Amino acid sequence: MKKIEAVIRPERLDHVKGALEEMGCLGMTVTEVRGRGSQGGIERQWRGRKYRVDLLPKIKLCIVIEEKQVKAVVDTILESAYTGEIGDGKIFISSVEQVIRVRTKEEEGSHNE
Ligand SMILES: Nc1ncnc2c1ncn2[C@@H]1O[C@H](COP(=O)(O)OP(=O)(O)OP(=O)(O)O)[C@@H](O)[C@H]1O
Ligand SMILES: [Mg+2]
C-alpha cells in the first residue's frame, strides 16, 4: 500500500474531493494545516505597512491506496488542485507497511501482494 499526502489550497478541496470520488477514490483523511513552500509565505499590506505571513492555511489530504491506483489518484489531484499560481501545493508519496480495518480485523491490500 502507498500513502499519498497532498497539500492543497483550501478553496480547491471540494473540487479535488469531487474528482477523487468520481474515480472511485473514497477513503481519505482531511486535515487543516498551515505551511510554507519555497517562497516562505507571502507579503501582505495592512494600513500601508508590509508584513510577512509565513505560514499559510492549507489542506492536507491523506489517502492510503493500493500501489496500482497511485498514478490515477495523483493525476486526478494534479489536475483538480491546479490553478497555475504559486502555492498550488505539493504531493508526497510513501510506502505503508500495514493497513488493518478495525471492524473486521482484516488486513487490507495484503491479498494482492
Ligand atoms: N518541502 C516541503 N516539505 C513539507 N511540506 C511542504 C514542502 N514544500 C511545500 N510544503 C507544503 O505545501 C504547501 C504548498 O507549497 P507550495 O505550493 O507553495 O510549494 P512550492 O514548492 O513553493 O511551489 P510554488 O512555487 O508553486 O509555490 C506549503 O504550505 C506546505 O504546507
Ligand atoms: Mg510556494
- In the chain the domains, ranked by start, together with CATH numbers, are 2-112 (3.30.70.120)
Mean pLDDT per 10-residue interval, the chain, length 113 residues: 98 98 97 95 92 95 98 98 97 98 92 51
**Ligand 1: which residues within 6 Å by Cβ?**
7, 35-39, 56, 58, 86-90
Sheet hosting strand 56-65, strand order edge to edge = 29-35, 56-65, 2-8, 90-95
Say how far residue 85 (Cα) sits from the centre of its chain: 17
Å from CA of 35 to ligand 1 middle:
7
9, 36, 58, best to mutate for ligand 1 pocket (most atoms within 8 Å of CB): 36
Q: Distance from the CA of 14 to the center of ligand 2, in angstroms?
A: 21
Q: How far away, in angstroms, is 41 Cα from ligand 1 center?
A: 9
| pLDDT value, residue 95 | 98
